[in-house]
Amino acid sequence: MCGIVGILGKKPVALQVLDALKRLEYRGYDSAGVATLEDGHLARRRAEGKLGNLELKLSEAPLSGAIGIGHTRWATHGRPNETNAHPHATDKLAVVHNGIIENFAELKAELQAEGIVFETQTDTEVVAQLVTAKLRDGKSPMEAVATTLPRLRGAFALAFLFEGVSDMLIGARHGPPLAVGWGDGEMYLGSDALALAPFTDEVTYLEDGDWVVLTRTDAVIRDMDGHPVDRVRQRVPTNSFLASKGNHRHFMVKEIYEQPEVVARTIAHYVDFAAGLACPPPLPFAWKDLRRVSITACGTASLAGHVARYWFERLARLPVELDVASEFRYREAPLDPGELAMFISQSGETADTLASLRYAKSQGQRILSVVNVPTSTMARESEAVAPTLAGVEVGVASTKAFTCQLATLLSLAIAAGRERGTLSEAEERRLVAALNGIPELMTEALHLEGEIELLARDLARARDVLYLGRGTAYPIALEGALKLKELSYIHAEGYAAGELKHGPIALIDETMPVIVIAPYDSVFEKTVSNMQEVAARGGRILLVTDARGAREAAMDTMGTIVMPDCDPVVAPILYAVAIQLIAYHTAVFMGKDVDQPRNLAKSVTVE
């Protein structure tokens, strides 16, 4: 998703802006740009594609202004070319924008009727033109922005730089996050603290509806009504800042390898090792008082919720309603007051999940968020937060955040089961022991990488791939298919194994790999029957199972990945490693950009 940077510095800032933009690359983007004031006059450099192209332009035609704004663009309105790249400018100002101005067509028509000619296909240009019109009417930059903001509908974060104004930037937030960074005689704006990490670790997060006037020594924040407001100035721990790839080729594989450590750290937060019991930090509600739970999320996080549904229903006998946030937010689901609404998000900023959270809140739900970024909007707006301790996740495709979400959700389900009297102490101890064993088993599973890499070469030739699973292996099959398609662009579908005969079986022939996720559990034999149906039609099976499953299945496969033995309840956490490595190696073999797959974004702050 788009990234915003603004710097009021003491020296030329263009390269600092570029540096900050590099730290926002992980969000996914397709063009980029910088604007500064050169002797008081606006100057821009913009480029299609990766930041390297912008860097080249800046080396050919450097900018020397000590005030500037920058942007990485993830296209919404208009193709990702240089014309549509931000900053957008008039003779009065330059502006960068993250989000969508939903009423842009109406505003554009109004401006066009007044004779304004538009250069781009973006929604952002209407903001530039609206503020410019007010400046032409004699308003000050502050007045011009203040009177424009109420006219904009949708979700947006904005940063403005004005012609001839060398000691002021204006930022505004209505949806996507925007942070103010405090320096020594320098001030910053950034989509997140990560972008500003080289310059400062002291930030203030704007609240929804806030806008800020930055000078080199101060930041005056106002709310939607123009009243000055105090917002907390906080230190963001340096360990939450962007790490390097280390010896790894990509962030994604580094993050896959970090899983034993970060999952162990997350489990330690929720489990009392000495007692062998689940002990999540106290929550402001009692599990035994609940009659149902709704779980809402997007993408990979929603698949963590899908696994959790099995856990909460089976272990805590608590009915779970599950939906993707983009549907939930508009479904007008009837929610009985006092029930629990859970939201799962790595970033804590995903627009649809946040809107769903606000809807649930308005319906009198208790709000619990499972988030990885503790300073995120969702964390701030939730009644209770169950943190995942995955650390910064840079790869656009979520890996370690997913397994930490699973570990957190299972711990919560065990605690809920105990409190609701549906799990005996002996069962709880068994499950906690199984959970504690997971990090070591993940390390063992990582040793299968070489084998998976070889199988991936075969998969890379496929046009379509089917993933099958039953029980908690079903959402893992869905996640396997999602990972493969987002990284390798091979068409992949995940299906409940039992649904095979209701449609996807028609696709099966000798060209179609079918990846079956099947730990040896209570439904294993049923899955084997589905594998037989695939084999009978010439389908090629890649079986991901354990030693017993491999023995019992006794089938000809294109490959069998034998995972370490584990309790079936914790299997989804372990089997996630296999499907991540399958997708990663297939994509790497095909030469794809696994850390920033085409068209994808992290921290999806638009609908």
Q: What's the closest the beta carbon of residue 580 comes to ligand G6P, in angstroms?
A: 12
Q: Which is nearer to ligand G6P, 390 or 543 (CB)?
A: 390
Q: Which is nearer to ligand G6P, 63 or 301 (CB)?
A: 301
Q: What's the closest the beta carbon of residue 315 comes to ligand G6P, in angstroms?
A: 24
Number of residues that bind ligand G6P (CB under 6 A): 16
- Which string of x and - marks every residue 76-105 that binds ligand G6P (by CB under 6 A)? ------------------------------
Q: What's the closest the beta carbon of residue 401 comes to ligand G6P, in angstroms?
A: 6
Q: What's the closest the beta carbon of residue 396 comes to ligand G6P, in angstroms?
A: 5
For residues 496 and 527, the answer to whether their CB atoms sit within 8 Å is: no
Which residues ranging from 531 to 570 are in contact with ligand G6P (CB under 6 A)?
none
Using rule CB under 6 A, residue 299 touches ligand G6P: yes
Which of helix, strand or coil describes residue 16? Answer: helix
Stretch that binds ligand G6P, among 160-168, 394-402, 464-472, 508-516 (CB under 6 A): 394-402
Q: What's the closest the beta carbon of residue 423 comes to ligand G6P, in angstroms?
A: 28
360: enclosing H helix or E strand: helix 351-362
Of these, 84, 294, 346, 356, which contacts ligand G6P (CB under 6 A)?
346
- Which string of x and - marks every residue 300-319 that binds ligand G6P (by CB under 6 A)? xx------------------
Q: Which is nearer to ligand G6P, 390 or 415 (CB)?
A: 390
Using rule CB under 6 A, residue 403 touches ligand G6P: no
d(CA 596, CA 31): 13
Alpha-helical regions (H) of 489-592: 524-536, 547-553, 571-589
Backbone angles phi, psi at 348, to 5 degrees: 75, 15
Using rule CB under 6 A, residue 604 touches ligand G6P: yes
Longest Cα–Cα distance in the chain? 81
Of these, 540, 592, 602, 606, which contacts ligand G6P (CB under 6 A)?
602
- Which string of x and - marks every residue 468-497 that binds ligand G6P (by CB under 6 A)? ------------------------------
Using rule CB under 6 A, residue 600 touches ligand G6P: yes
Of these, 14, 316, 320, 396, which contacts ligand G6P (CB under 6 A)?
396
Q: Is the dihedral of CA 482, 484, 490, 496 positive or negative?
A: negative
Backbone angles phi, psi at 462, to 5 degrees: -75, 150
Q: What's the closest the beta carbon of residue 397 comes to ligand G6P, in angstroms?
A: 5
Of these, 398, 411, 488, 580, which contacts ligand G6P (CB under 6 A)?
398
Of these, 350, 369, 375, 488, which contacts ligand G6P (CB under 6 A)?
350
For residues 558 and 433, the answer to whether their CB atoms sit within 8 Å is: no
Using rule CB under 6 A, residue 605 touches ligand G6P: no
Q: Looking up tokens 């939450």, which residue turns up?
A: 240
267-294: b (≥16 Cβ within 10 Å) or e: bebbbeeeeebbbbeebeeebeebeebb
Helices (H) and strands (E) in the chain, counts: 18, 26
d(CA 381, CA 308): 22
Q: Which is nearer to ligand G6P, 18 or 351 (CB)?
A: 351
For residues 168 and 215, the answer to whether their CB atoms sit within 8 Å is: yes
Q: What's the closest the beta carbon of residue 476 comes to ligand G6P, in angstroms?
A: 14
Stretch that binds ligand G6P, among 383-391, 424-432, 505-513, 598-606 (CB under 6 A): 598-606
Helices 400-420 and 299-316: crossing angle in degrees, nearest 10, is 20
Could you tell me the strand order of the sheet in which 3-8 lies? 41-48, 31-38, 67-73, 3-8, 187-190, 179-182, 202-205, 234-235
Of these, 347, 377, 411, 472, which contacts ligand G6P (CB under 6 A)?
347
Q: What's the closest the beta carbon of residue 282 comes to ligand G6P, in angstroms?
A: 25
State the catalytic residue, choosing from 22, 108, 134, 602.
602
Both tokens assigned to 6? 């603004």
Q: What's the closest the beta carbon of residue 49 comes to ligand G6P, in angstroms?
A: 20
Q: What's the closest the beta carbon of residue 347 comes to ligand G6P, in angstroms?
A: 3
d(CA 565, CA 519): 8
253 burial type by CB count under 10 A (0-12 exposed, 13-18 middle, 19+ buried): buried
Active site (annotated) includes residue 602: yes
Active site (annotated) includes residue 2: yes
Q: Which is nearer to ligand G6P, 132 or 296 (CB)?
A: 296
State the catalytic residue, choosing from 2, 298, 404, 566.
2
Q: Which is nearer to ligand G6P, 216 or 483 (CB)?
A: 483
Q: Which is nearer to ligand G6P, 278 or 379 (CB)?
A: 379
Residue nearest to ligand G6P (CB): 299
d(CA 202, CA 182): 6
Question: E-assigned strands of 13-153?
Answer: 31-38, 41-48, 67-73, 88-89, 93-101
Of these, 397, 416, 492, 505, which contacts ligand G6P (CB under 6 A)?
397
Question: E-assigned strands of 303-409?
Answer: 320-324, 340-345, 366-371, 384-387
Stretch that binds ligand G6P, among 5-13, 73-81, 255-263, 393-401 (CB under 6 A): 393-401
22: enclosing H helix or E strand: helix 14-22
For residues 299 and 359, the answer to whether their CB atoms sit within 8 Å is: no
Beta partners for residue 220, in sequence order:
213
Of these, 63, 298, 416, 438, which contacts ligand G6P (CB under 6 A)?
298
Q: What's the closest the beta carbon of residue 342 comes to ligand G6P, in angstroms?
A: 13
Q: Which is nearer to ligand G6P, 200 or 347 (CB)?
A: 347
Of these, 16, 148, 200, 353, which contacts ligand G6P (CB under 6 A)?
353
Which residues ranging from 229 to 268 are in contact with ligand G6P (CB under 6 A)?
none
Q: Which is nearer to ligand G6P, 155 or 396 (CB)?
A: 396
Both tokens assigned to 589? 């073999």
CB atoms within 10 A of CB 440: 12
Reported as half-sphere exposure (CB side, CA atoms, 13 A), residue 176 has a value of 27
Beta partners for residue 517, in sequence order:
469, 544
Q: What is the DSSP letter of 36?
A: E
Using rule CB under 6 A, residue 191 touches ligand G6P: no
Which residues are identified as catalytic?
A: 2, 602
Q: Interface with ligand G6P by CB under 6 A: which residues?
A: 298-301, 345-347, 350, 353, 396-398, 600, 602-604
